[in-house]
Structure 1
Amino acid sequence: MELPRTDGAAPSFDPELSRALAALGDATREPLTPGNLAAQQERDAAIRPRPTAHELRADGLFEVTELRVPGRDVTLLSARPAGVTGPLPLLYYMHGGGMVMGNAASVMPQLLREWALPLKLAVISVEYGLAPRAQYPVPVEDCYAGLVRAAEHAAELGIDADRIVIGGKSAGGGLAAALALLTRDRGGPAPIGQLLLCPMLDDRGSTFSSHQMAGIDVWDRTSNTTAWQAALGDRFGAADLPPYAAPARATDLSGLPPAYIDVGSAETFRDEDVAYADAIWRAGGQAELHVWPGACHGFDSFAPAAALSRDAREARTRWLRRVLARPGSEET
C-alpha cells in the first residue's frame, strides 16, 4: 500500500505545551516498542497514582465503593457526591493507557473534581483487562459487563439508568466508542451520550496524521502500532476485524448516542478522529468535534494549567451539561 505523502512541516505545538514537554524531558518521547513494552508497563504500574477508596472519599466529600462484576475479573470503582439525594446521572468511564497501561483509580480525582461535584453526577471507572494478557474481545466485554451491572443495579447504586453517559480518553475513548456500538447492536443499556477524548479508534495506522506526526507526537505511530499489536494479537491487521475491536472499522454509525469528540491538530489520532465525527454526521447522527490547535496527544494531562487545556475542559463540561439536561438528546 502506498503511504500518505507528508511533505512539509508538521503542525507546531502550542507554546505552553512545548514548554511543558521540555520540562518533562526526553522520557516523554520514548516510543513504546515490543522490546520495551513489559518494562514500560512495570514502570507505569510503579509510578502511576492509584488512590485508595479512603483517599477518594476526601474526608467525606464523596461516597466511594468498589464493585465486582460476577463471572468476570472486572472491578468497578463507583463514586458520587456525599449527601446528594435521589438517583444521579452516571458517567461510565474507561481510563487511557493504550490498552496496555493505566488503572481505574488514577483518573477518579479529576473526574470527581471536574464533573461529579459541579454537575452532581455519579462516576464509575472501569478496571478492564490490559493487553497483552487480555486481548480483544476481553477489554470491551469487560466494559460491557460492567455497564450492564451498573444499569441492572441502578437503584442500589443511586443512579438513573436512563441518564448514562459513556466516556473515556485515548484507549478509553476508543473503548467507549466500541461500547456504544456494542450496546446498540445487542440492545443493551442505552447511553444518552458518548464522551470521546482523543480516542484511539483505528488499528491500521494509515492516516496522514499518523505518518505526519511520527517521531513527533508523544504517542506516535510506533507506540500506537505496538499497543494495537498487543491488544489484537494474531488478529492485528485482519481485514475482517470487528468494529468493536477498532471502531474506525465500522461501516454503520447510525443509531448511536450524541458524541463529543476532541483531538489535537498536532497528534497522531487527528485524522481518524475527524473521520469518525464525519462518519457519524453522514449516518445522520450528532457529533460535536473540537480540534485543538497545536495540541499533542494527552495535552491537558501534562499541561493542565495551559490556556488550551482550560478551554478543552470547559468545552467538555458544557457538552456534558447539555446532554444531562435533556436525556436522550442534545440541546442545539
Structure 2
Amino acid sequence: MSNPLLLAKLRPLGSYDAAAAFDLRRVIFAAMRDVLRKNRILFAIPVNEDAVDTYFASLPSIDLTRSIIFLKRTKPLAAASADGNDQELDAILEKQHNTNFKADYGSLPFWRLIILEASGSSNEFTASFIYHHAIGDGVSGMVFHNAFRAALETASLSAADEAGNEGEGTVVPGEDIAILPPLEELHPLPINPTPSAPPAPELKQWTGGPIHAPCESRWSSLHFSPSKSQAFFRVCKDKSVSVTSGLTSIIATALFGILPPTTEAITCIIPLDDRIKGPRPIIDPTLTSLVDLFLLPEELDLDLMRGTTVSSEENEATAFVYNADTVVQSAPHLEHVEHHLPGPDGNDVILSIFKPKQPTSSNLPVVYHIHGGGMVAGDRFSAVTELLGLLKDVECAFASVEYRLAPETRAPGPAEDCHAGLVWLSQHATSLGLDAAGIVVLATPVKAQMLLSPMLDDRCPSVSDQQFEYGSPWSGVSNRMAWTHALGDDRATDRVTPYQAPSRAVDLANLPPTYIDAAECEVFRDPAVLYAMNMWRCGSTCELHIWPGAFHLFDGMDNPEVPLIHAAIVAKQTWLGRIMRAVDLDQ
C-alpha cells in the first residue's frame, strides 16, 4: 500500500524576546498534541490488513519522541543544488517511503512526522507528514496541513511563556472523539441486482510493471523556477488549455517515450485544479473524507445523473434500485399507494403516497415532496428514505410526485406537473384521510415549505457560483448545464419567468412559513440567502440555515459522530416537528 505524503515549508508565527527563548521541539510537540487529540484516526492501526475481516484498533497512547523525527540540514537549501532541486530532502523521503509502518507494530502509529530544520535558522523548517493509506487519502493530508498549521500558530504564541517546560511526550486519545463507523453501518447501500457488463477497454492501458518483494521505492522531485513556471503558464493560456491539462500531457508524453510501443493509453491523476482562481471557504475537516463520494462529472452525464446505464448487449437502460419496495423496507410501518392523475399537456402525473398502516387520526397532515436532481434527474423515490428519517417522530403522510424531466420537457413543464399533483392532493385530501390545510411542501393552500439546496437563479451570477465553478459536488459548470437543459436558449434572458426560476420573483409577500437550507461550499448558497432576504423584505417568514464548511448533499445520511451532519439533520427535524404540531393544533 502506498504512503501519501504532505510537504510544507513552515515558520511558526510567535514573537520572541530572544532566539534562545524559542524551542522548536517544544512548539512541534505542543502542536501535535493538539492535532492528535482532535483527530482520533491518527491513533488507529489496521488489524488483519491482508484478510477479509480487517478492522481498526486504537493505540492506547502515542509517544511523540518516537513518531516525530528532527533532522538538521547540512547546508542551506539555496547552495545545495544549482538546479534548485532539494536533493537532501529527496534522500530523506526516499528512505521514509522504504520504511515499513509495521516495524514495532502495536506500539507506533501508522504515520511519521519528519521535521527538517533549516541550516542557520532556529524556527524555519520543512515538515513531511508520511502516513499509511489506510488512515487517510490525499485530502486527508490537506486536513492535517491546515490543522497542524493552526496548531503551530497557537503553540508558537505561547512558546516563550513555557520556556524550560519540555511538555509531555505521550498523548492519549480524547474520550469525546471517536473513529467514524463503517459506511455500511450508516446507509443501506442498495446495489443494482442486474448490472450491465462493464465495457471492454478500447485501448491497451499501461498499468505498470510487475512488483516483486522486497520492493524498494525511488524518490525524486523536480524544481521549476518562477520564470520557467510563468513561461509555461503563458503557453498554456495561448493554447487555451489549463495548466493541469498541460502538465498531464507533458508527463504522458515523457512516459510514452520510454514505455513499450504496444502501450496505447496512460491514466494521469493530478490533484491540482488551477481553475480555482479566488479564495473560497474550505470544507470542514470532518467532511473532507466524504466529499469525493459526492463528486459528479462537471460535464453533466444524464445517464449517470438518472441512475441508468446502457447495456452493451441489449442496448437498453437498466435502473438502479430505488423504488416503493426499498422505501417501505426502510419504514415498515408505512403502506404505499400509487395514484395516476391527469396532468398538463395530456400527460399523466404519478403520485406515490406513503401513509401509516395504523393511523391514529383520519385527518393526517401530509408532506408533499418535490425531488431534487437539477430538473434533469431523479424520480419520486429519490431521497425519500432519508427524508422519512426526518419525520420518524411525526405521524403524517408523505406524498411524492413524479414530474417530467428536462431537456425532454422544458420549464415550466416540470413545475406544472408538480402543481397539478399538489392541486389534486388538496382536492382529494378528505377521501385519502389527509388534512388539505396541513400540506407541507418539501422542495398554495399550503401550511409551509422546506427548500433544501434550492435551484433558484438561472443567471448564475453570484459569488458562490464563481467560487464553486469547479471542483465541488454540483459545480457551477453543472448548474449552468442543468439550467440550459431546463430553459434552452431562454436561460439568462428576460424571457424567463418566476415560475421557471424563482429568483426572478420580485414580490414574495404572503408566502407560507419557509425553511431554506444550503451549504457554505456550494453554488446554491448565495441565491438561497438572497431569496430569504427578499422574503423578509416582503414580510414573509423564513428560517435560513447556511452550514459552514459543508458541501452539496453533505447531510444525505445522518451520522451522530459528525457534529455538523447531525446538527443539520436535527435542525430539519425540529422545524418539521414544530410545523406538524402546529397543524395538529389547528385541527
- Kindly state the Cα deviation for residue 163 of structure 1 after the two structures are TM-superposed: 0.6
For structure 2, the 5+ residue unaligned runs are: 1-275, 310-316
1:17–1:303: 8 Å Cα contact kept in structure 2?
no
Does residue 150 (structure 1) correspond to residue 391 (structure 2)? The answer is no
Task: Select 1:274's aligned residue among 529, 534, 540.
Answer: 529
Q: Give the equivalent residue in structure 2 for 1:198.
A: 453
Does residue 106 (structure 1) correspond to residue 378 (structure 2)? The answer is no
Q: Give the equivalent residue in structure 2 for 1:122.
A: 397
**Structure 1 CA distance for aligned equivalents of residues 435 and 526 of structure 2:** 35
Q: Give the equivalent residue in structure 2 for 1:62.
A: 334
Task: Select 1:93's aligned residue among 362, 365, 369.
Answer: 369
Q: Give the equivalent residue in structure 2 for 1:186.
A: none
**SS at the partner of 2:431?**
helix
Q: Give the equivalent residue in structure 1 for 2:134.
A: none
**SS at the partner of 1:295?**
strand
2:327–2:381: 8 Å Cα contact kept in structure 1?
no
Mapping of residues 25-104 of structure 1, within 5 Å: 28-33=295-300, 36-38=301-303, 40-41=305-306, 43=308, 46=318, 48-53=320-325, 56=328, 60-71=332-343, 72-84=347-359, 85-104=361-380
- Kindly state the Cα deviation for residue 49 of structure 1 after the two structures are TM-superposed: 3.5
- CA deviation digits over 1:284-320, x for unaligned, max 9? 1100011100011111126755322211111111111
Task: Select 2:578's aligned residue among 319, 322, 330.
Answer: 322
Task: Select 1:141's aligned residue among 413, 416, 425.
Answer: 416
- Kindly state the Cα deviation for residue 272 of structure 1 after the two structures are TM-superposed: 0.5
- Kindly state the Cα deviation for residue 17 of structure 1 after the two structures are TM-superposed: 1.6
**Structure 2 CA distance for aligned equivalents of residues 60 and 292 of structure 1:** 32
Pair 16,43 (structure 1): closer, same or farther in 2 beyond 3 Å: farther
**SS at the partner of 1:201?**
coil
2:456–2:501: 8 Å Cα contact kept in structure 1?
yes
Q: Which has the higher helix share?
A: 1
Pair 322,42 (structure 1): closer, same or farther in 2 beyond 3 Å: closer
For structure 1, the 5+ residue unaligned runs are: 1-5, 169-182, 184-189
**Structure 1 CA distance for aligned equivalents of residues 385 and 557 of structure 2:** 15
2:476–2:523: 8 Å Cα contact kept in structure 1?
yes
- Kindly state the Cα deviation for residue 150 of structure 1 after the two structures are TM-superposed: 0.6
2:295–2:472: 8 Å Cα contact kept in structure 1?
no
For 1:69, the aligned partner's letter is: L
For 2:527, the aligned partner's letter is: E
2:284–2:549: 8 Å Cα contact kept in structure 1?
yes
For 1:318, the aligned partner's letter is: T
**Structure 2 CA distance for aligned equivalents of residues 310 and 11 of structure 1:** 20
- Kindly state the Cα deviation for residue 69 of structure 1 after the two structures are TM-superposed: 1.4
**Structure 2 CA distance for aligned equivalents of residues 54 and 38 of structure 1:** 21
Quote the sequence identity (%): 38
**SS at the partner of 1:264?**
strand
**Structure 1 CA distance for aligned equivalents of residues 492 and 348 of structure 2:** 27
- CA deviation digits over 1:145-200, x for unaligned, max 9? 000111111122211001111012xxxxxxxxxxxxxx4xxxxxx11111011111
Mean alpha-carbon deviation: is it higher for 124-133 or for 49-58? 49-58
- Kindly state the Cα deviation for residue 202 of structure 1 after the two structures are TM-superposed: 0.5
Greater relative contact order (Cα 8 A, min sep 6): structure 1 or 2? 1
For 2:572, the aligned partner's letter is: R
Q: Give the equivalent residue in structure 1 for 2:192.
A: none
**Structure 1 CA distance for aligned equivalents of residues 461 and 484 of structure 2:** 15
Q: Give the equivalent residue in structure 1 for 2:279.
A: 9
**Structure 2 CA distance for aligned equivalents of residues 301 and 55 of structure 1:** 15
Mark the structure with the bigger radius of gyration. Answer: 2
Q: Give the equivalent residue in structure 1 for 2:538.
A: 283
Task: Select 2:569's aligned residue among 313, 322, 326.
Answer: 313
**Structure 2 CA distance for aligned equivalents of residues 328 and 240 of structure 1:** 42
**Structure 1 CA distance for aligned equivalents of residues 287 and 330 of structure 2:** 30
- Kindly state the Cα deviation for residue 51 of structure 1 after the two structures are TM-superposed: 2.2
Q: Give the equivalent residue in structure 2 for 1:3.
A: none
TM-score, normalised with respect to structure 2: 0.48
For 2:564, the aligned partner's letter is: L
Mapping of residues 234-253 of structure 1, within 5 Å: 234-253=489-508
- CA deviation digits over 1:95-125, x for unaligned, max 9? 111111111113222233331x411011001
Counting matched residue pairs gives 299
**Structure 1 CA distance for aligned equivalents of residues 457 and 585 of structure 2:** 27
For 2:333, the aligned partner's letter is: L
**SS at the partner of 1:9?**
coil
**Structure 1 CA distance for aligned equivalents of residues 363 and 335 of structure 2:** 14
- Kindly state the Cα deviation for residue 10 of structure 1 after the two structures are TM-superposed: 1.0
**Structure 1 CA distance for aligned equivalents of residues 320 and 372 of structure 2:** 12
For 1:281, the aligned partner's letter is: W
- Kindly state the Cα deviation for residue 277 of structure 1 after the two structures are TM-superposed: 0.4
Q: Give the equivalent residue in structure 1 for 2:288.
A: 18
**Structure 2 CA distance for aligned equivalents of residues 167 and 8 of structure 1:** 34
- CA deviation digits over 1:200-252, x for unaligned, max 9? 10100100110011113211111001100101123222213110100001011
For 1:114, the aligned partner's letter is: L
Q: Give the equivalent residue in structure 2 for 1:180.
A: none
